[in-house]
């Protein structure tokens, strides 16, 4: 057996600088591997964050003041006097019910009640999708409210053409709900007064 004793060869000797260089290189590789991930992993993490931990933003109800109503007010502006918002038809998106009339310096112009849906094109005005009360019925609307998916209001009208316009003599409650693809007004007893029923569109 040959003795292993003898001088070290130049390529087998280890210096402190070589150990430091090797340790630095290994640390750099490990750090780089932790930063670089496959594209699929990033996409999967993003999808999990958007689908799981963060809820989807709530839809915005249509802006009653941005809609174009089927009213002819001449030189006078259209006035929104009341509004409520909620998911009336159960499709997951909110609608807005607006009470509007022509703004006048004197008197009380008749009101209209309209259902607004989100615009079909981004940035456009909200769409009028139903008329609950037509201004042609010559009624005023008070106490607009939303309970669940039912819209209610108090309708004030006139029993005859000679009743002064300042003093409505007919008053009744009305309620509308989405049924079979349209808004249906609840029936009322004759004791509450006979006002023309509005038609769903």
Q: 153 with 136: CB under 8 angstroms?
A: no
pLDDT band at 186 (very low <50, low <70, confident <90, very high): confident
**Which pairing describes strands 170-179 and 112-117: parallel, antiparallel, or unpaired?**
unpaired
**Which pairing describes strands 170-179 and 95-102: parallel, antiparallel, or unpaired?**
unpaired
User: Residue 54 corresponds to which tokens in the numbers above?
Assistant: 């963060």
pLDDT band at 49 (very low <50, low <70, confident <90, very high): very low
Three-class SS of residue 23? helix
- pLDDT at position 191 over 90: no
Mean confidence (pLDDT) of the chain = 76
């Amino acid at each position: 057996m040959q003795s292993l004793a003898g001088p070290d060869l130049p390529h087998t000797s280890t210096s402190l600088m070589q150990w430091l260089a090797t340790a630095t290189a290994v640390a750099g590789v490990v750090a780089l591997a932790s930063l670089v991930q496959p594209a699929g992993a990033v996409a999967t993490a993003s999808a999990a964050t958007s689908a799981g931990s963060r809820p989807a933003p709530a839809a915005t109800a249509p802006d009653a003041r941005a809609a174009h109503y089927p009213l002819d007010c001449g030189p006078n502006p259209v006035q929104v006097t009341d509004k409520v918002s909620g998911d009336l038809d159960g499709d997951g998106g909110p609608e807005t019910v607006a009470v509007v009339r022509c703004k006048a310096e004197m008197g009380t112009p008749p009101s209209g009640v309209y259902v607004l849906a989100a615009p079909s094109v981004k940035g456009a005005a909200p769409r009028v999708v139903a008329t609950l009360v037509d201004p042609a019925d010559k009624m005023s609307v008070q106490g607009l409210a939303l309970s669940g998916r039912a819209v209610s209001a108090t309708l004030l009208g006139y029993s005859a053409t000679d009743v002064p316009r300042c003093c409505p003599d007919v008053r009744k409650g009305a309620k509308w709900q989405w049924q079979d693809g349209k808004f249906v007004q609840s029936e009322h007893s004759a004791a509450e007064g006979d006002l023309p029923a509005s038609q769903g569109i």
